[in-house]
Amino acid sequence: MTKALLIVAALIDLALAALLIGVSGFIVGGGPESLKASGLETAAYWAAVVVCIAAPAAGFILNRKGRTPAGLIAAWLPAAGALVALLAPAPY
């Protein structure tokens, strides 16, 4: 059951990373539809992409070392963060 939860978390995290990469031009690009993010915002955005990719690996490593609860939390953290971000009210 733990392996299945880790695999589902990995699929969700990688899909979230793909989504972030897919819309990155609208955040950090130079086009007319872009938000023209500053350096700090760009670094935070790409850090989120790296976390989405690294979290499942950390979850599997922690599970292998016998720290199953920590592994599950690490693997599901980006998905939980995305859900919290969706619940935040729009700034306009």
| Residue 92 belongs to some domain of the structure | no
| Residue 28 belongs to some domain of the structure | yes
| Residue 49 belongs to some domain of the structure | yes
| Residue 59 belongs to some domain of the structure | yes
What is the domain count for the chain? Answer: 1
Cα dihedral: 17, 59, 8, 26 (round 10)? -10
Look up the pTM and report it.
0.81
| Residue 32 belongs to some domain of the structure | yes
| Residue 88 belongs to some domain of the structure | no
| Residue 90 belongs to some domain of the structure | no
Which of 55, 64, 81 lies closest to 3 in space, CA to CA? 64
Q: What 3-state DSSP class applies to 89?
A: coil
Query: Alpha carbon 71 to chain centroid distance?
Result: 15
| Residue 89 belongs to some domain of the structure | no
- Identify the H or E element spanning 78: helix 68-87
pLDDT by 10s per residue, the chain, length 92: 889 999 999 999 999 999 988 888 787 777 777 777 778 888 888 999 999 999 999 999 999 999 999 999 999 999 999 999 889 887 77
pLDDT of residue 16: 92
Residue with the two structure tokens 């998905």: 79
Please give the residue range of the domain that contains residue 65.
2-83
